[in-house]
Structure 1
Amino acid sequence: MSETPIRPRVLAIAEAANPEWVSVPLVGWSLAQALRGVADVHLVTQVRNRDAILRAGLTEGVDFTAIDSETFARPMWRLAERLRMGDGKGWTMVQAINALSYPWFEHLVWRQFGTQIRAGAYDIVHRITPLSPTITSSLARKCAAAGVPFVLGPLNGGVPWPEGFEAERRAEKEWLSYLRGAYKALPGRGATLDRTSAIMAGSHHTAGEIPARHQSKVVYLPENGIDPARFGRVAAPVDDVLRACFVGRLVPYKGCDMLIEAADELLRAGRMTLDVIGDGPMMQPLQAQAQGLTGVTFHGWMEHGAVQDVMAKCHVLAFPSIREFGGGVVLEAMALGVTPLVVDYAGPGELVIPGTGVKVPCGSRDQIVSAFRAELVRMANDPTSLRTSGQAARARIQSHFTWDQKARQVAQVYGWTLGPRQHDAPAFF
């Protein structure tokens, strides 16, 4: 048997990979780039990302290939935008439409790279995005037939809506989410998982949705990471007034209205300030809710790189979102040494461990507001005490969540995949 290559040759498939965007495209770009430190990587992405990647300094044809699937992808995206019934809403509908259009992209990838894969030009084919576990992959079967390991993930998504938030669910136009579980019966899902050599799951919920017969090749690995160049400052608030911030889209499930309600008395007493970073359909209602409260500043949308300038002046990220898959903003706050205060549900609940932040139970709206109010009062009584948890949070990021660290973690998954598999899959958390 041949030895595992020290630097495996990896064909990284990331349909969404863009250094100038946020969310999934930034995850795809950041992980693919970080992997260049541990592997010889050729990135394959969609043509819409081409210009941004060229501006980032990569050479087309050498470092990356842009696949033009717009003939099918563009009309399907327009359909998704019409069906989602509102900017930033109906995410499940968007994913369902993407599940219909994405197979054409993989068809074009195989058309261009299939001969090289069969000839052994790559040791690993790794599909980084889409992150959704609902989208199958024809490449898994084709790579298996060629004798080349196929790695999938990190996958994340499908976190159920918590009970008591049906109004928020309706406001988000998440009608299709009631049927989301049907994806498990879709043709191709079983074949994809059967022929995948390793499955990286970005959340415990997603890992739990993988059938039992595949659990031996599941690795828990949260998908978000931190680029120290983007979030490299160290928070150092100097006064005794509790400084809190909220960062995110101003939509119902993010819970900014719950935060303002919880902080009302502290804000009126001048014992707390609140910086709200983000924009969305709830901007005007939130501004009306905060009318008469001193110390609340609505910054609106900000460039991603500028967000840390505001966050680094704060003691705490107060983030009562009740349905986060990944919770990247929680990691960004921790990277700065800002203590996160979150709801113990899904992504944020998994990222915040004892000593690095505070989690409140995911109950009813009134219960979350009450729990946030109690924690904010406790913090306001001694905001300087948050320095210890902020330092622990920052250390946690440096040890586990920088993109370089995540690339080393993925490299261990590659090594396990290519090796004799005489031990269990790697575990990092």
Structure 2
Amino acid sequence: MAGSRPRVLLIAELCNPDWVSVPLEGWSLARALAEVADVHLVTQVRNRENILKQGLVEGKDFTALDSTPVERPLEKVGEVLRGKAGVGWTTATALSVLPYYYFEELLWRRFGDRIRAKEFDVVHRYTPISPTTPSTLAARCADAGVPFIMGPMNGGLPWPKGFGDARLREREWLSYIRDVYKLMPFYQSTRKNAAALMMGSRATRAQLSQEYQDKVVYIPENAIDVRRFGTSKAEPPKPGEPLRVAFVGRFVPYKGMAMLIDAAAPLVREGKVRVEFIGDGAEMQNLRAQVAKGGLESGVTFAGWVKHQELQGRLSKNHIFGFPSVREFGGAVVAEAMALGLVPIVMDYGGPGEIVSPSTGFAIPMGTPQEIVERVRGVLEKLVADPSVIGPMGERARARIFKHFTWKAKAEQVLEVYRWVSGERGQPDFGMPLAD
């Protein structure tokens, strides 16, 4: 591999250019890695048609495996246990493990001989991102003498105190016994036999036992597609203009939209702040009722879902990104908003608190719901009183994202991990979290 492009078997079961969240992350990193390495992508058959539309050649550039015979029965179980769409993610992750074991078995049948023949320098499992999903491949690759790496992995952020009601409304019953996943088959084997474990957050790294910490490289989970974000730019508020605050995401309890409404309410009534909610979900009815009860209809609006390709134009009309989510693993939308020059207000907990630095936004200390409302309101009042700080802070936010949080930057970081496990360099350390 020395001096050449590494040959990588990239496993991204979730990988789709036309979807959002983790499937889009899988696709984005796969394409970025293809610029610096010779990548053969292995994914699930559900992604096949959309990948073909992007011009990739099946068999040459990617392989699609069909694990649906095991997936479909468990999907029906999930529908019963999870109820409303968009909640019960711990349950969904647990139910995905058995189909994923089958997916990896199909992969080994197809590629095991080629791995043993060392046709690949590295086997890299990117998705699933969750650290709770073990791999049957780590030990097999170790026996074959081919480095197996995972990540960036992210997840497992504990529920903060004071949000028990939101936890129940999210149907997060399994989160109470979440550490049971460490007893799952292949959990210890995965970590023992992996050559490197890329961790996407400090919280996820903290879950790993001390005996495996020497395998860790910190690389944040999220990044932006520079073709979709960053070509537009938010303008700071003009004198006398209301401060425009945007939220983007699924309308579920832990995202904190109700707290954002309460925080902004006095300023909305005074005509100093307007809030736009972009998205939809189970909490929509409750949020509309909250706005109506508070007499806030003139300053709080609901845009519904906006296509990801059109989100840049919509967001760039705002000044502030209000996102007080109390249990956010990654926070890709925070990076996207910052790339446009919006100043973020997030919780200093989980992924958003690692994307936002003190010079680029406001990371609010965790507390009770009322404490969070008061702290977010304090930031909004400060910005209303002195909006001159918004422009410079937004510029610094843009610079931070384009330095550290593009898919190109992430692919270059992962490439250094490939070089490390191949013996070409020492263990990389990019900082934790990444500095401005």
TM range (shorter): over 0.9
Residue 246 of structure 1 corresponds to 247
**Which residue does the alignment assign to 1:399?**
403
Percent identity, please: 53
Q: Distance in 2 between matches of 1:63 and 1:424?
A: 29
Residue in structure 1 matching 2:373, options 347, 369, 372: 369
Among 342, 346, 351, the residue aligned to 1:347:
351
Q: 1:211 aligns with which of 205, 209, 212?
A: 209
Cα separation, 2, equivalents of 1:383 and 1:114: 59
Matching residue of 2:27: 29
SS at match of 1:16: coil
Aligned to 1:40: 38
Q: 2:49 aligns with which of 51, 61, 66?
A: 51
Residue ranges of structure 1 left out of the alignment (5+ in a row)? none
Whole-Å Cα distance in 1 between the matches of residues 237 and 82 of structure 2? 44
Counterpart mapping for 1:73-152 below 5 A: 73-152=71-150
After alignment, is 281-290 or 44-53 more displaced?
281-290
Alpha-carbon distance in 1 for matches of 2:159, 2:366 = 11
Alignment pair present for 1:223 and 2:229: no
d(CA) in 2 for partners of 1:389, 1:345: 21
Measured at CA, do residues 264 and 238 of structure 1 come closer, stay the same or move farther in structure 2, by a change above 3 Å?
A: closer
1:331 aligned residue (306, 329, 335): 335
Amino acid at match of 1:41: V
Q: Secondary structure at the match of 2:351?
A: helix
2:288 matches 1:287: yes
User: Secondary structure of 1:228's partner?
Assistant: coil
- The aligned amino acid for 2:212 is H
Equivalents in 2 of 1:310, 1:269: separation in Å? 24
TM-score of the superposition, structure 2-length normalised? 0.96
| 1:63 paired to 2:66 | no
State the 1:77 CA deviation.
2.1
* Contact residue 257 and residue 286 of structure 1 kept, 8 A: yes
Cα distance in structure 2, aligned partners of 1:124 and 1:81: 37
Cα RMSD of the aligned pairs, angstroms, is 1.2
Instruction: State the shift of 1:425 in Å.
Output: 3.7
Paired residue for 2:181, among 161, 180, 183? 183
Which of 305, 309, 325 aligns to 2:309? It is 305
Work out which of the residue numbers 407, 413, 420 in structure 2 matches 1:409: 413
Partner of 1:236: 235
Offset at residue 407 of structure 1 (A): 0.3
Gaps of 5+ in 2: none
Checking the alignment, whether the CA contact within 8 Å between 1:10 and 1:126 is kept in structure 2 is: yes
After superposition, give the CA deviation of every residue in 1:93-144 in whole Å (9 maximum; x if it has no partner). 0000011221000000010011111111100000000011111111111111
TM-superposed CA distance for 1:40, in Å, is 0.4
1:255 aligned partner: 256
| Residue 81 (structure 1) shift | 2.2
Determine if contact 1:19/1:29 at 8 Å carries over to the other structure. Answer: yes
C-alpha distance in 1 between matches for 2:388 and 2:304: 28
Task: Give the CA deviation at 1:420.
Answer: 5.7
> What residue identity is the alignment partner of 1:290?
V
Which stretch shows the higher mean deviation, 67-76 or 103-112? 67-76
Please tell me whether residue 426 in structure 1 is matched to residue 425 in structure 2: no
8 Å contact from structure 2 (residues 223, 410) kept in 1: yes
Mapped contact 1:315–1:383 kept (Cα < 8 A): no
Residue matched to 2:267: 266
- Conservation of the 8 A alpha-carbon contact between 1:227 and 1:402: yes
Contact kept? 1:237, 1:313, Cα under 8 Å:
no
Q: Distance in 1 between matches of 2:314 and 2:387?
A: 17
Deviation at 1:187, TM superposition (A): 2.5
The answer (yes or no) to whether the contact 2:147–2:422 under 8 Å persists in 1 is yes
Write the letter of the residue equivalent to 1:396: R
Q: CA deviation at 1:238?
A: 4.7
Give TM-score, length-normalised by structure 1: 0.97
Deviation at 1:75, TM superposition (A): 1.8
| CA offsets 1:325-356 (integer angstroms, 9 cap, x no match) | 00111101111111100111111111111101
Q: How many angstroms apart in 2 are the aligned matches of 1:167 and 1:238? A: 37
Which shows bigger deviation, 406-415 or 67-76? 67-76
Compared with structure 1, are the counterparts of its residues 389 and 276 closer, same or farther at alpha carbon in structure 2 (3 Å cutoff)? Answer: same
Of 288-297 and 10-19, deviating more is 288-297
Task: Answer whether contact 2:236 2:390 (CA < 8 A) is retained.
Answer: no
Instruction: Report the CA distance between 1:427 and its aligned residue.
Output: 2.5
Of 48-57 and 287-296, deviating more is: 287-296
**2:21 equivalent to 1:19:** no
Residues 4-52 of structure 1, C-alpha deviations (whole Å, 9 max, x = no match): 3521000000000001111110111111110011100010000000011
Give distance in 2, aligned partners of 1:70 and 1:285.
36
Q: Residue 128 of structure 1 contacts residue 154 of structure 1 at CA under 8 Å; is this kept in 2?
A: yes
Q: Matched residue of 1:37: which SS?
A: coil
In the alignment, the residues of structure 2 paired with residue 257 and residue 48 of structure 1 have an alpha-carbon distance, to the nearest angstrom, of: 36
CA contact (8 A) 1:277 1:302 kept: yes
Contact 2:2-2:424 within 8 A present in 1 as well: no
| Offset from partner CA, 1:173-226 (integer Å, 9 cap, x none) | 001100101111222111111110010011101111111111111011111111
Distance change >3 Å, CA 5–CA 186, structure 1 → 2: farther
More off after superposition, 144-153 vs 77-86? 77-86
8 Å CA contact retained: 1:217, 1:425: no
Amino acid at match of 2:163: F
Distance 2:85 2:185 in 1: 31
Letter in 1 for 2:137: L
